[in-house]
Structure 1
Amino acid sequence: MTHRYTVDSRPPSLAHLFRDRLHDSPDDEAYRYRPVNDSAEWTSLTWAETGTRVHRIAAGLMSLGVRPQDRVAIASGTRVEWFLADLAVMSAGAATTTVYPTTDADEMAFILADSGSRVLFAEDAVQLAKVMERIGELPGLTAVVLFDGVPAEAPVDAPRCDVLSLARLEAHGAEYARRDPGCVDRAVDAIDPEHLATLIYTSGTTGRPKGVRLVHDCWSFHALTSAESGELTPDDLQYVWLPLAHTFGKSLLCAQVAVGNPVAVDGRIDRIAENLAALRPTLMAAVPRVFEKMYNALVVEARSQGPASEEAFYWAAAVAREYATTAQELGTELGAGMETGTALVPEKLLAAHAIADRLLFTKVRDAFGGRLRACISGGAPLAPDIAQFFGGAGVRIIEGYGMTECAGGTTFTSFEYRVGTVGKPLPGTEVRIGDDGEVLLRGPHIMRGYHNRPEQTAEVLGPDGWLHTGDLGELTADGYLRITGRIKELIKTSGGKFVSPVEIESRFKGACPYAGHILVVGDNRNFCSALITLDAPAVMAWAEVNGLSGRSFGEVCAAPQTRQLIAGYVEQVNAGLQRWQTIKKFAVLPRDFSQEHGEVTPSMKVRRAAVEASFAHVIDRMYEGSREG
Structure 2
Amino acid sequence: MIVVDRSQANTETATELDTLPKILRAQFRKYGDKKVAMRKKQYGIWNEQSWADIYERVRNVALGLVSLGWQRGDHVAIVGDNDPEWYCAEYATHAIGGAVTGLFVDAHFSEVEYLIGHSEARYVFAKDQEQVDKVLEVRAQLPRMERIIYWDDRGLWTYDDPLLMSYGDLEERGRKLADERPMLFEQQVDLGKASELAALCYTSGTTGSRPKGVMLSHKFLIGNAEDWFKIDPWPDTDDYLAYTPPAWGMEQVQGVAGALIAGVTLNFPEKPETLQNDIREIEPQYLFFSARVWDTYASTVQSKITESTALKRWLYNLFLPVGNRMAGARFCGKSPGLLWQALWTLGNMLVFRPLRDKHGFIRVRTAYQAGASMSSDCFRFFHIMGINVKQMYGLTESGIVTIHRNCDIDPESVGRPLEEGSIRISERGEIMVRDERLCDGYFRNEEATRELFDADGWMHTGDGGYITEHGHLIYLDRVKDLVPLPGGGWFAPQFIESKLGFSPYIRYAMAIGGENKPFVSAVICIDFQNVGNWAQARRVNYTTYVDLSQKSEVYALIEKDIQRVNKYLPEGARIRRFVNFHKEFDADEAELTRTRKLRRKVAEEHYKGLIDAIYAGKEQYIVQADVKYRDGRSGVISTGIRIRPVCE
State the TM-score, normalizing by the size of structure 2.
0.88
Following TM superposition, by how much is the alpha carbon of 1:306 offset from its aligned partner in structure 2, in angstroms?
A: 5.3
Structure 1 window deviating more from structure 2 (548-557 vs 420-429): it is 420-429
2:336 matched to 1:345? yes
Stretches of structure 2 that go unaligned for 5 or more consecutive residues are: 1-8, 619-648
Correspondent of 1:28 among 31, 35, 39: 35
Q: Does 1:12 align with 2:30?
A: no
CA deviations 1:138-195 (Å, max 9, x no partner) are 111111111111466676xxxxx63110011011111122222222222222222222
Using the alignment, how far apart are the partners of 2:467 and 2:340 within structure 1?
A: 31
Q: Percent identity?
A: 26
Q: Which has the higher contact order (CA 8 A, sep 6+)?
A: 1
Secondary structure of 2:588's match?
coil
- The question of 1:262 aligning with 2:265 is answered yes
Task: Report the AA paired with residue 481 of structure 2.
Answer: E
- Correspondence 1:529 to 2:521: yes
2:351 aligned partner: 360
1:455 equivalent to 2:447? Answer yes
**Cα displacement (A) at 1:18:** 1.2
2:145 aligned residue: 141
Partners of 1:180 and 1:427 in 2: how far apart? 45
- 2:607: which partner in 1? 615
Unaligned runs of 5+ in 1: 156-160, 332-339
**What is the letter of the counterpart of residue 368 of structure 2?**
I
Corresponding position: 1:68 with 2:72: yes
Q: State the SS of the aligned residue for 2:267.
A: strand
Q: Deviations over 1:260-287 (max 9, x none)?
A: 1111012722212101221121111111
Question: Which residue of the partner structure matches residue 52 of structure 2?
Answer: 48
- Cα offset, 1:254, TM superposition: 0.7
Residue 406 of structure 2: SS of its match in structure 1? coil
> Are the counterparts in 2 of residues 92 and 187 from structure 1 also a CA contact under 8 Å?
yes
Contact 1:151 1:164 in 2 (8 A): no
Correspondences of 1:275-354 after superposition (within 5 Å): 275-305=278-308, 309-328=312-331, 331=332, 340-341=333-334, 344-354=335-345
TM-aligned CA deviation for residue 309 of structure 1 = 4.4
1:90 maps to which of 94, 101, 106: 94
Aligned CA distance change for structure 1 residues 379 and 58 (closer, same or farther; 3 Å):
same
Which whole-Å CA distance do the structure 1 matches of 2:556 and 2:539 have between them?
Answer: 13
Letter of the structure 1 residue corresponding to residue 284 of structure 2? P
Structure 1 range deviating more: 248-257 or 114-123: 248-257
1:409 aligns with 2:400: yes
1:595 & 1:231 partners in 2: Cα distance?
Answer: 36
Superposed, 1:578-617 pairs within 5 Å as 578-617=570-609
Asked if the contact 1:78–1:267 (Cα under 8 Å) also holds between the matched residues in 2, the reply is: no
Structure 2 CA distance, aligned partners of 1:288 and 1:153? 40
Q: Aligned partner of 1:92: which letter?
A: I
The one-letter code of the counterpart of 2:21 is: A
SS of the residue corresponding to residue 428 of structure 2 reads: coil
Measured at CA, do residues 491 and 584 of structure 1 come closer, stay the same or move farther in structure 2, by a change above 3 Å? same
In structure 1, the residue matched to 2:165 is: 164
Cα distance in 1, alignment partners of residues 112 and 86 from structure 2: 17
Kept in 1: contact 2:270–2:278 (CA 8 A): no
Answer whether contact 1:217 1:444 (CA < 8 A) is retained: no
Q: Deviations over 1:500-539 (max 9, x none)?
A: 11222222223x2211111111023111111111112211
Contact 2:108–2:588 (8 Å) recurs in 1: no
Query: RMSD in angstroms over aligned alpha carbons?
Result: 2.2
What amino acid does structure 1 have at the position aligned with 2:163? D
- The answer for the alignment partner of 1:117 in structure 2 is 121
Any idea what the Cα deviations from partners look like across 1:366-400, whole Å, max 9, x if unmatched?
Answer: 12332222211111111111111211221111111
Give the corresponding residue for 2:4: none
Q: How does 1:150-549 map to 2 (within 5 A)?
A: 150=156, 162-205=163-206, 206-251=208-253, 252-266=255-269, 268-305=271-308, 309-328=312-331, 331=332, 340-341=333-334, 344-369=335-360, 370-406=362-398, 408-418=399-409, 419-427=411-419, 430-510=422-502, 512-524=503-515, 525-549=517-541
Normalising by structure 1, we get a TM-score of 0.91
**C-alpha distance in structure 2 between counterparts of 1:527 and 1:2, whole Å:** 63
Q: What CA distance in whole angstroms lies between the structure 2 residues aligned with 1:466 and 1:571?
A: 41
Q: What SS does structure 1 have at the residue aligned with 2:521?
A: strand
Secondary structure of 1:291's counterpart equals helix
What displacement does 1:255 show?
0.9
1:440–1:469 Cα contact (<8 Å) kept: yes
Distance 1:236 1:541, change over 3 A: same
> Structure 1 151/426 Cα, relative in aligned 2: closer, same or farther at 3 Å?
farther
**Which residue is 1:158 aligned to?**
none
What displacement does 1:320 show?
Answer: 2.5
